[in-house]
Every structure is written in C-alpha cells, then in structure tokens.
A and B are shown apart, each in its own frame.
Chain A
Amino acid sequence: MGIVKAIKLVHDYYKYDESGHVEGTYRALDNVELDIEAGQFIAVLGHNGSGKSTLAKHINALLFPTEGALWLDGMNTTEEEDIWKIRQKAGMVFQNPDNQIIGTVVEEDVGFGPENMGIPTDDIWQRVNESLEAVGMTAYRHHSPNKLSGGQKQRVAIAGVMAMHPKCIILDEPTAMLDPNGRKEVLRAVKELNEKEGITVVLITHYMEEVVNADKVFVMDQGKVVMQGTPREVFSRVEELKSYRLDVPQVTLLAYELKQAGVKIPAGILTTEELVNALCQ
C-alpha cells in the first residue's frame, strides 16, 4: 500500500435552507481511487470546482469521507485517535499565505507546529533551524511575516510544515496568489524537498507549467479522477484536456498543432528544448 491510498472516496457537501434543514447535497468527490507511492512528486490538476481542494483536505483529515475510505501511511483518517498523527505526517500548505501564518515573527511561526506536538524546547529550535535552512529563509528568521513577499511567506509556511517532520506535504494551490517570481521560488523549494529529503509531494494546481516535472499527474473533473499518468501521457491527450477546461502548456499545444498539421514529431512534448530537438531531427 502506498503512502496515500483512497478507495471509492465520496464526499457530499450539504446545502442547508434558512431553517437549517438539509436542502440538497453536492457531490464534491465521486468514487475517487488513488494510490500514491512514498517519495513521489504528484500533481493534481483540475478546473475550479473539480474537487481537488476537497481531496487535499481529506488527506490531512480536515474533512472526512461520506463513503469509502482514505488511508495515510496505513492509518484510516476516520480513526479518531490517529487524527493528530495523520495531520503531523501529512502537512498542508494553503493558498493564501496571509491566512496560514500564525506567528508574529518568522521563526515563531515555524515553531508553531512542533509546539503543538509537545516537542521539547531544544528540539523545537533544532527543527526550526533545519526547516528554515531547507527553504532558504534563515536570513529572515527575525522578520515580521507581514513584511515578506508572497513567495517568501509561502516558503515560511512550507518551513512551518517541514518542522513537523511530515512524510508527505500537500500543497493546495500554493502559487495561485503569487507573481511569476514567487511561483518559481516556491516550486523550487518544493522540488528540492522532494529530491533531497525524499518527502512525498502532492501539488494541487491549475497551472500546467508546474506539473511538467511531476512523477504522476491526476486530472480531476466534477469530483472524479478522469485522467492519470505521467505528464507526457496526460499532455499528449490535448483534446481530452481541453474538454475538462484545462489548457496544456504552450509548447505542448504548439507541438500538438504541428503534429495535426502533418509535421512528424512525437506526441506529448513538454519543454521548448524537446520541441527544438524534435524539429531539428
């Protein structure tokens, strides 16, 4: 069994009318099957309302399945007594950097998780130092989070999760509110954690460019996992992606159009270099 495994995962949101009665349900997750191996870099793609954030919150036991089940590192998320262990092992980074930083000083925020876990003071300091170093924010440790850029704030948030020594990090659209530079900064930090520390990464996004380097891509639409495979496999199905209101990276689209027009190049080209090489052959 992989580090994250979901079987027939269903989640219904209830709509209430004014007097508090259930008016109807909205199925955010519909029979999701998922198996993620430890150490992988996973990307989950999907349009707004495709259920990808709901899925993320299930991995961290912030939401519980209506039907089916989800296991994290062998622990069922519905087991009440495992809930804090699950949240420690699966760290979560949210979209809005301002709304997830609790401390008034960078280093205090990074220490927040370990404090909650009841780690002794000396160990907290060691974890904080290591985590800040891992995301390259050591120089800002005494700064107020309010004075940092968006990318820096997200790196602090990642450090805050790292200090809890998770096995898996779930990033729920971490770059949606950042400028291009901040986006690169954050992705580089995440990639490094995945490669150097061997942490499983689940990156949820709707930016195609961010998933090119992933080991596996899941595409979600209306609560279902509709496509999965390596980025190359997924991106070679341009028409299908378009039907889920997703855009493929520009290079991939160009290569696809060229192929349609009769140029002989392989399917699923992901980078500019690949396209150049394919065309020059």
Chain B
Amino acid sequence: MIRDITIGQYYPADSILHRLDPRVKFVGTIMFLVSLFVANSFWGYLLATVFLAAVIIMSKVPVKFMLKGLKPLFFILLITVAFNLFLIPGKVLWQFWIFKITQEGILQAVKIGIRLIYLVIGSSVMTLTTTPNQLTDGLERLMRPLNKIRVPVHDIAMMMSIALRFIPILMEETDKIMKAQIARGADFENGNLIQKAKNLLPLLVPLFISAFRRADDLAMAMEARCYHGGENRTSMKPLKYHSRDTSAYLCIFLYLAADIAIRVLI
C-alpha cells in the first residue's frame, strides 16, 4: 500500500529533453516562469503556449502525466481564480448580493489561471525528464558560486541525494512497523482526526529511532570510505555541456527575448 508511492516523478523515455544537461533544464524552467510573468497580452500568452506545446511534444512524455501535477493544486487554482473574478473593481457585468463580476475581473482571472497552470506544467516538464540524481547534481553545480558566501552547497546536495536513497528504505520500514503494530492490535484506520494522529505514535517512535540508528551507521560507513566533505573530491559523472545544451540555451534566451519584445512593443 504505502510502497506504491513513487519518488520524484521521472518518466523514463529517450528524448532530446531527457538527454539535456540538468542545468539547462533548470535554468530553462526558471526562464519560462519569468516569461509567464512578463507576458501580459494575448500574443505573449500565445507565444508561451506555443513554446510549452513544443517542449511537451519534444519530451515524449504523455500529456496525461503533465496534467497529473495540477490535481493537488486544483483548490488553490479555484480560490485564486475566484478571488480575482469577484474582487477586482471595474465595469460591472453581473451582480448578485455582494458578488460582482467585472470585465477586468474576468480578464485578470483568466490570466492568473493560465499563468498558474503553465507554471505547474512547465516545472513538471523538468521533473518528468530529469532523474532526482541529475537534479541534485545540476543544482550543486549551479549553486557553486554560493560557496563564496559560505553556503555549504556540496553538503546540501549530499543530504538531498542521501534522502532520496533512503526514502524507499524508510517506506519499507514504515510498512513493516505498521504491520507489526497492527498485529498487536494497533488501529490506524478508525477514529476522528485527533485519535488517528494519536494512534500514529506507536508507528512514529520506532521509525524515528531506527532512522537515527541508520544515520549513525551510514555516517560511519561514509567516513570509512574516506568521505570528508566536498574538498578535493572528484566526480565519477561530471556534468559537461554538449552542443545540444548550447542550442537549448540559445532557444530559451530567444524565447525570453521574444517575450520581452512583445511586452514592450505591443
């Protein structure tokens, strides 16, 4: 039951987007998010739509998976759109009790709606085409300049990748402890919210104890294998830019430039 949860949402496929350097995809996603807030006219949104559609087609990931990311955000989306729809003053088109719908309201609600949806789809394109490992690697490289202001970039990246490695192990363990406690009469299903939360205690305590023990063991195993932080460390799979990465950067910058041009000119 609990084991069905997948970590990250990587969708394995062989596309140009999958093969791109994770740094390109990360920068690209941020650029796309920026472009969504730059775009303010019909043409701007059209450009964004075309760009996003092209990227989705190139990624070879079924659109279904992209839309899945929207589900948990449905309510936030609904509330945001509703607020914009009802609360923006302007030319009133329709009125009922205290609710007013204005022309400006409709326009703003549509804009915000599109922005949010594209934002989520745009970032899921990145997570769907990049393995969690590549993502941490890419982030580590991109954040490296922060080392100068004493941000422990390498350590953060190492923590992220260890967390990723241990999620399935801890899941399995949760499952095991849960079954053991159910066998002894623990009840995780019934009762109101407070009772349910209380009932989780016999699950969480052993899980935490075991997690600390594992952390201790792992730290020792890492030290035994000469781990001493990021200094003088080499990489087995160093990130290298290929020509396709350069072209991808070019495309992204062209897109952003076009977007800004539309904003300024129209």
Mark B214-234 against chain A: 1 for CB-CB distance below 8 A, else 0.
Answer: 100110111111111000111
Mark B160-177 against chain A: 1 for CB-CB distance below 8 A, else 0.
Answer: 011011001100000000
**Interchain CB contact under 8 A, A87 and B234:** no
Question: Could you list 16 further interchain pairs (A-B, Cβ under 8 angstroms) beyond the known A94-B221, A101-B165, A107-B236?
Answer: A60-B224, A62-B224, A88-B226, A100-B217, A102-B218, A102-B222, A108-B236, A108-B237, A112-B227, A115-B234, A116-B225, A116-B226, A118-B234, A121-B235, A121-B237, A128-B236
Question: Assuming A104-B133, A105-B133, A116-B233, is B161 touching A92 (CB within 8 A)?
Answer: no
Q: Looking across the interface, which residue of chain B has its beta carbon closest to that of A161?
A: B225
Q: Is B238 an interface residue (CB 8 A)?
A: yes
**Interchain CB contact under 8 A, A100 and B233:** no
Shortest Cβ distance from B217 into chain A, in angstroms? 4
Question: Assuming A96-B217, A104-B133, A146-B168, is B233 touching A87 (CB within 8 A)?
Answer: no
- A107, B214: Cα distance in complex, Å: 22
Q: How many residues from B make CB contacts under 8 Å with A?
A: 27
Q: Looking across the interface, which residue of chain A has its beta carbon closest to that of B132?
A: A104
**Interchain CB contact under 8 A, A99 and B224:** no
Q: Is A156 an interface residue (CB 8 A)?
A: no
Q: Looking across the interface, which residue of chain A has its beta carbon closest to that of B166?
A: A98
Chain A interface, DSSP helix/strand/loop, else mixed? helix
Q: How many residues from A make CB contacts under 8 Å with B?
A: 39
**Interchain CB contact under 8 A, B236 and A87:** no
**Interchain CB contact under 8 A, B221 and A99:** yes
Mark A119-158 against chain B: 1 for CB-CB distance below 8 A, else 0.
Answer: 1110011001000000000000000011000000000000
Shortest Cβ distance from B195 into chain A, in angstroms? 33
Which residues of B have CB within 8 Å of A101? 165
Q: Looking across the interface, which residue of chain B has its beta carbon closest to that of A109?
A: B165
**Interchain CB contact under 8 A, A87 and B214:** no
**Interchain CB contact under 8 A, B226 and A87:** yes
Q: How many A-B Cβ pairs are below 8 Å?
A: 88
**Interchain CB contact under 8 A, B236 and A114:** yes
What are 28 A-B pairs with beta-carbon distances under 8 A?
A87-B225, A87-B226, A88-B226, A92-B221, A92-B224, A96-B217, A98-B214, A100-B218, A101-B165, A102-B162, A102-B165, A102-B218, A102-B221, A102-B225, A104-B132, A104-B133, A111-B236, A112-B225, A114-B234, A115-B236, A116-B233, A118-B232, A120-B234, A121-B234, A121-B236, A128-B236, A145-B165, A146-B169
Q: Is A14 an interface residue (CB 8 A)?
A: no
- A223, B133: Cα distance in complex, Å: 44
Shortest Cβ distance from B4 into chain A, in angstroms? 15
**Interchain CB contact under 8 A, A118 and B233:** yes
Q: Is A113 an interface residue (CB 8 A)?
A: yes
- A266, B133: Cα distance in complex, Å: 60
Q: Is A176 an interface residue (CB 8 A)?
A: no
Question: Assuming A116-B233, A118-B232, A124-B236, is B226 touching A94 (CB within 8 A)?
Answer: no
Which residues of A have CB within 8 Å of B218? 99-100, 102
- A54, B141: Cα distance in complex, Å: 39
Shortest 5 CB-CB contacts between residues of A and residues of B? A100-B221, A99-B217, A111-B236, A92-B224, A116-B226
Which residues of B have CB within 8 Å of A91? 224-225
Mark B231-251 against chain A: 1 for CB-CB distance below 8 A, else 0.
Answer: 011111110000000000000
Interchain CB contact (< 8 A) of A124 among B132, B222, B234? B234
Shortest Cβ distance from A268 into chain B, in angstroms? 35
Which residues of B have CB within 8 Å of A117? 226
**Interchain CB contact under 8 A, A160 and B234:** no
- A119, B232: Cα distance in complex, Å: 9
- A169, B214: Cα distance in complex, Å: 22
Q: Looking across the interface, which residue of chain A has its beta carbon closest to that of B7?
A: A104
- A146, B222: Cα distance in complex, Å: 18
Which residues of A have CB within 8 Å of B214? 96, 98-99
Shortest Cβ distance from B14 into chain A, in angstroms? 15
